[in-house]
Amino acid sequence: MKRYVLVTIISFFGVLLSSAAFSSEEGHHGDVHWGYEGEGAPFLWGSLKEEFATCGAGKSQSPIDISAVAITGLPAINVNYSATPLEILNNGHAIQVNYGAGSSVTVGDKIYQLLQLHFHAPSEHTFGGKVYPMVAHLVHKAGDGSLGVIGIMMREGEENALIKSLWQHLPAKVGQKETVASVSVNAVDLLPKDMTYFSYSGSLTTPPCTEGVNWMVLAAPVSVSADQIAQFTAVLSGTARPVQPLNGRVVSLSN
């Protein structure tokens, strides 16, 4: 049965591909800053700083490769997002859009407040080893302090209207932040119509790699144009942590 599910999921995502962090503050040990290459590369994160130890020792790390899954009844993601004035920044690891209070998702009996969304290139999670050119992570926090992150894969295709609005104010320099009170954005405009999702317990994909994160990776990608991908990667690229061992965790797919 497991072998059948593995083949089915990889085949499913092969069709999707062919048809088409929660960011923490920069950490360092001496003069070595965490990043994606060289002395601060991901495989060294756990040794750069005591607070980053989970990056190396944790057993429930993210991202992962999603291939074999258990198809089960997962609660729907009920979205209650509203528009927020645009505040977009380049933190050197992702392009991040900070979100105003009052937007949330409800998953089962838990309400998660939307804090921010950010973008990596390429995608961090993979589907049967396949990578998308970009990914969006929508970071939420519940009243009990637990985090819930929605991952949205982004494939090359038609121009994305929300991304067009964001990229008009894309901060090119690390540390640069643009606050544009006259522009409002709504994260609901980034969501696909099909909210089928994969669920598993993982971690932040950047230091300190905190575990206990409820990952909800959407099965359906959204489209962005080749020009929009190029605009982003001209500013930031190669900002994806490699996939981490599953260590016996079960990945569930909503039916």
The answer to whether 33 is a known catalytic residue is: no
Question: In the prediction, which pLDDT does 248 show?
Answer: 96
Please tell me the least confidently modeled range out of 27-41, 51-65, 162-176, 232-246. 27-41
Q: How many domains does the chain have?
A: 1
pLDDT tier for residue 255 given thresholds of 50, 70 and 90: confident
pLDDT tier for residue 20 given thresholds of 50, 70 and 90: very low
Question: In the prediction, which pLDDT does 11 show?
Answer: 39
| Active-site position among 33, 93, 118, 140 | 93
Q: State percent of the chain over pLDDT 70.
A: 87
Using CA atoms of 73, 70, 142, 165 in order, give the dihedral in degrees to the nearest 10.
-100
pLDDT above 90 for 236: yes
Using CA atoms of 126, 62, 36, 40 in order, give the dihedral in degrees to the nearest 10.
-160
The domain of 54 spans 2-254
Check if the beta carbon of residue 86 is closer than 8 Å to that of residue 92.
no
pLDDT above 90 for 53: yes
Which residue, 84, 111, 112, 102, is CA-closest to 190? 84
pTM of the full predicted structure? 0.88
pLDDT above 80 for 189: yes
pLDDT above 50 for 59: yes
Which carries the bigger pLDDT value, residue 29 or residue 108? 108
Check if the beta carbon of residue 202 is closer than 8 Å to that of residue 250.
no
| 244: number of Cβ within 10 Å | 21
Q: Using CA atoms, how far apart are residues 103 and 82, in angstroms rounded to an integer?
A: 6
pLDDT above 50 for 56: yes
The pairing of strands 252-254 and 70-72 is: parallel
pLDDT, tens digit, for every residue of 113-128? 999 999 999 999 999 9
Average pLDDT score over the chain: 90
CATH number, residue 207: 3.10.200.10
Question: In the prediction, which pLDDT does 64 show?
Answer: 98
pLDDT above 80 for 28: no
Would you list the DSSP string of the chain?
-HHHHHHHHHHHHHHHHH----PPPP-EETTEEP-SSGGG-GGGHHHH-GGGHHHHH-SS-S--EE-S-EEE-PPPEEEE---EEEEEEE-SS-EEEE--TT-EEEETTEEEEEEEEEEESS-SSEETTB--SEEEEEEEEETTS-EEEEEEEEEESSPPHHHHHHHTT---STT-EEEEEEEEE-GGGGS-S---EEEEEEE-SSTT--EEEEEEEESS-EEE-HHHHHHHHTT-----PPP---TTPPPEEE-
Question: In the prediction, which pLDDT does 32 show?
Answer: 66
Distances (CA, A) of 52 to 13, 66, 149, 176, 249: 33, 25, 20, 25, 22
Token pair for residue 80? 């209650």
Token pair for residue 96? 């991040």
